[in-house]
Amino acid sequence: MADPRPSGGRSAEDVGAEAFAFATAAADHRSVCGERKWSASACENEHCSPNRFMTVRAFRHAASFALIGLALSVEASAQDAAPPSTGTQAVTAESADLRARQRELRQLLDAGRWTDALPIARRVVELSEGYSLAQRIGAHFDLASLMRQLDDLDGAVLEYNVVISLAGQFSDLGAYLGIVYDNVAMIRRAQEQWAESEAASDRALEIFEKTVGTRDIHYGAALNNRAIILSEQGKTVLALDYSERALAVLRESFAKDPKALEPFLEDNRRIRAGLPR
């Protein structure tokens, strides 16, 4: 039986798991009030609305599985894209360097050393160019997420756009592409670029509707994000409609975990408080 691993001795599962190392580490280390720029409103008394944190945390596992599926689907093309190998597919110097940089990146992210991680993430992007499309997509996603963490919002959007461009070569990405568009929507929200924010939100919702469906937690969280985008523009009535739709989905998703629903209920209460009297 042929060795199922891509050249360099890395399985497709390894590609999927390692490519989202940052998404997982960032969600684990990011505190709710530590991400003020994503909150629905200014923090008061050190209590923030954790809507964005909740969405990242909810998405990270689905994103990992989505990319693993992508990695499996492009395993054959990875054989063509990978550096030449001989014999039993011995690990090349380039692949060894890539794996070393991936391990270093993971260690820095686990330690919350975002600034130190940035040049390593850039190097992973460079080294990934000769490998599978799944590997390249994951590397650019990680770099975009790190730039966002470091407040380089325009840089993050540029990297997310690279992900979108690369992902366009595949027709079956599940919810993964929706995650990317939702991230772009929230970045543009922070920059008060409302038209771009709403356009990206529209695309995220469309993708989620077609992939995971309208009763999925990811769709509900994206509806909540859209409600926040609208509320911050003073479009309170429309924002409330999106918030109510989000709660209809999330009440079912969090039926066994009422505490997880509370941030979304708080967003709804805040929107209601802004309705014209």
Q: For residue range 96-118, list pLDDT tens digits in order.
A: 888 899 999 999 999 999 999 99
CB 89 within 8 A of CB 9: yes
- Exposed (0-12), middle (13-18) or buried (19+): which is 161, by Cβ within 10 Å? middle
50 — alpha (psi -120 to 50), left (phi > 0) or beta? alpha
**Confidence band for 86, pLDDT divided at 50, 70 and 90:** very low
Whether the per-residue pLDDT at 48 is higher than 70: the answer is: no
CB 267 within 8 A of CB 228: yes
CB 228 within 8 A of CB 191: no
**Confidence band for 269, pLDDT divided at 50, 70 and 90:** very high
Task: Give the whole-angstrom CA distance, residue 153 versus residue 156.
Answer: 5
Task: Give the whole-angstrom CA distance, residue 74 versus residue 165.
Answer: 16
Class of the 12-273 domain? Answer: mainly alpha
47: β partners: 44
Task: Give the whole-angstrom CA distance, residue 83 versus residue 222.
Answer: 39
**Confidence band for 195, pLDDT divided at 50, 70 and 90:** very high
Could you state, in order of their start, the residue ranges of all structural domains in the chain?
Answer: 12-273
Q: Mean pLDDT, the chain, as a whole number? A: 73
